[in-house]
Chains A and B, each alone.
Chain A
Amino acid sequence: MAAINFGYTISRPRAIDLDRNNLRKSDEILREMPELQTCIGCGSCTAVCTAGNLTEFNFRKVHTLVRRGEYQGAYEEMNKCMLCGKCRLVCPRGINTRGVVLLIKRKLGDF
């Protein structure tokens, strides 16, 4: 049966084993930017994202995965960001999202 295109997709379900993932980088990131823990995952950042409008880049997804210790490809994904700063203005928790982008790139440059 051909899949019906509703104009959006969802991520395939999968399990993340926090005991297996190395959370050292994630801990470092949260220590430098503790406000990231207040994220409620509303996705406003992604909704207004300039880069997300043009590509598959999804800021909420990337920083959520990084916090879970899933670093693979995070640096390359974050590099799609143009740092325009709209996400920062719409974040209901007032998270310094531009700082998060720069921090994740700095910490995960070698992953």
Chain B
Amino acid sequence: MSFFAPFCIPFLVGAAAMFAVLAWKWGSWLWCLPRTDKRLILRGLPTRATLEAVGEVVGESLLHRRIFRINPLLGYMHMSLAFGWFLLIAVGWIETMACLGLHWVPIQGHVFFRYFSTGLPHVAAFDFLMDLLLLFVLSGVALAWGKRFFSRRMGMRRTTKHVPGDRVALTALWFIFPARLAAESITCALYGGGGFLTGSIGAWLGAHVPEFGLMNAESVAWWFYSSCLGLFFVAMPFSRYMHIFTEIPLIFLRRYGLRSGEKATSYDEFQVEACSRCGICIDPCQLQSVLRVDDVQSVYFLRDRRYGMLRREVADNCLMCGRCAEKCPVGIDLNTLRLNARDGLRNVPDERRYDYFKGLDRSSGEGKVGYFAGCMTLLTPRTLSAMETIFAAAGEQVWWADREGGVCCGRPLKLAGETDSARRMMRYNTELFRKHGITTLVTSCPICLKVFREDYALDGIEVLHHSEYMLRLLRSGRLALRRGATRFTYHDPCELGRGSGIYDAPRAVIEAVGELLEPEHTRENALCCGSSVANTAITDGQQVRIARSVAGELEATGAEVVVTACPLCKKALGRGTAAAVRDLAEVVAAELK
């Protein structure tokens, strides 16, 4: 039995081109990985991480569980296309094996089996199963069509604006399965067989269309099906569908502990090309929902970066609040990719920069506990004096790192992309902390907290946010508070919540002084205040508009006082509301017994 017909050529050429490009891309990315990353992979291969990665590939690349959590219908659409197609291929191989035994069959023999198997006896179970799977995939295609017009029904207010290459691939993908249905049905009409779908359509065609017409149509239909496949395969590595194959190695590499950093590496390519441009990141973005800026969201940023057309305006226009990363079904580290893209655009190593740090030390006091106010706390002196009151009430001996002015923590500069210069600030502050021998470092600024925990080498020094520190004082009985009837609501700062995973400590502190009311978006879904230091592109007016929308939601809780745990959020929210906005420390200091 020969498994070749001329119509197979487009499919074969497309598949060969796709695998060649894939091999080249994966090979070069893996080859260019830093040595430490390569070592991580080798060390991770024989461990449990590999098995867990296989599990995640099944759960995410095939079943798309994370999308189900966003919207069940959207999840079903993605699952039916991915898992359905996978099953069509897998069951198709089993079918050929069942019909021909363990006998080598070329790839086109599997894919176009219905065409080649007309002379073989049919297995009814496989006919039924293959038709069922085809129907499963077709339902996904129908939903994808429907999503063009009724995206809101599938939980998406806005969908991605696609580039022409994506449209070509998308069109080819849409036609693959209807074309397969047509081709198989016509073959069934001529030679019999087929299940409830292709068999029935085939029988109807056989009864209504003359055989001569069917013979011509069969050849056209198989040519069309093969061409759609070929076109899709050629377009795939260059379009958004590259995610189909890139997400798989990404999951493995992530399980082996590879991470993106402040400098771009080839691991970033895995992340960038694993983006399917599903557009789920668009709706959470407040630049979109409040300001109607619609070309800077993560999906567009990754697209521009991938095709080498990233503009500074796009890279800079992001609050880095992390709301999109929280929702990303592929789990791409969007903030870090944005950060190292800015590094590529802006970083200028300058050895003489910040020479004025030499010999600088404005710290005061002595103690094992150090307090780093940070620039923004120095701009909100009420927070600072509240912290003084609290330290005094707890009888803590405090070393004040920067009450009389000091060097910035370095995170704002890092977020702007000047990572090498930011390192100089980090080095200065680290030496300062070491010189004064502190064992605990308290800060009231989540921006500083995040950089202290992630970028500073502070072994032996425990870094605490003031919310955690105050909670510790309360729990150990060193602070006693009056609990009143005031109703508070709490705004989660991005750098504290999504950034550092601290949600419960500030809430526990608030509940010690009054009643806590949650706004509509809270914890992982909390909104950004809009004045994030990560964004150097939006105007003051735009920042205030975001602040107003956030403040509106906080006021809607009916609380008398808006509490936050970030001096920058406090300033920002204060610009958007007439209501009282206080830092957590102020609330605590006011209710000390």
Contact = CB atoms under 8 A, between A and B. Distances in A.
A95 B376 contact: no
A83 B531 CA distance: 14
A35 B539 contact: yes
Interface string B58-72: 000000000000000
Contact of B539 (A80, A82, A85, A94): A94
B416 A102 contact: yes
Nearest to A94: B540
Contacts of A91: 540
A96 B416 CA distance: 14
A98 B316 CA distance: 12
Given A50-B408, A89-B571, A84 B375 contact: yes
A89 B379 contact: yes
B346 A102 contact: yes
User: Which residue, of A53, A85, A90, A98, has the highest number of chain B Cβ atoms within 10 A?
Assistant: A85
A102 B360 CA distance: 25
* Interface range for A: 20 to 34
B119 interface: no
B356 interface: yes
Contact of B356 (A55, A84, A98): A55
Contact of A84 (B376, B531, B538): B376
Contact of A86 (B353, B360, B376): B376
A50 B405 contact: yes
Given A89-B571, A99-B537, A54 B416 contact: no
Nearest to B376: A86
B425 A82 contact: yes
A82 B412 contact: yes
User: Which residue, of B375, B413, B544, has the highest number of chain A Cβ atoms within 10 A?
Assistant: B375
Interface in A10-35: 35
Contact of A95 (B378, B421, B425, B540): B540
A109 B347 CA distance: 12
B418 interface: yes
A79 interface: yes
A83 B405 CA distance: 15
B407 interface: yes
B503 to A, nearest CB: 25
A39 interface: no
Contacts of A102: 346, 416, 536
Contacts of A80: 354, 356
User: Which residue, of B379, B410, B533, B541, has the highest number of chain A Cβ atoms within 10 A?
Assistant: B379
A2 B354 CA distance: 33
A96 B425 contact: no
B508 to A, nearest CB: 29
B536 A96 contact: yes
A91 B418 CA distance: 24
A48 B379 contact: yes
A79 B539 contact: no
A83 B348 CA distance: 15
3 closest pairs, A vs B, by CB?
A: A94-B540, A84-B375, A82-B408
27 contacts: A35-B539, A50-B378, A50-B405, A50-B406, A50-B408, A53-B405, A54-B405, A54-B407, A79-B421, A80-B356, A82-B375, A83-B408, A83-B416, A83-B418, A84-B408, A86-B375, A86-B376, A89-B568, A89-B571, A90-B379, A94-B540, A94-B544, A96-B537, A96-B539, A102-B416, A102-B536, A109-B348
Interface of B: 346, 348, 350, 353-354, 356, 360, 362, 375-376, 378-379, 405-408, 410, 412-413, 416, 418, 421, 425, 531, 533, 536-541, 544, 568, 571-572
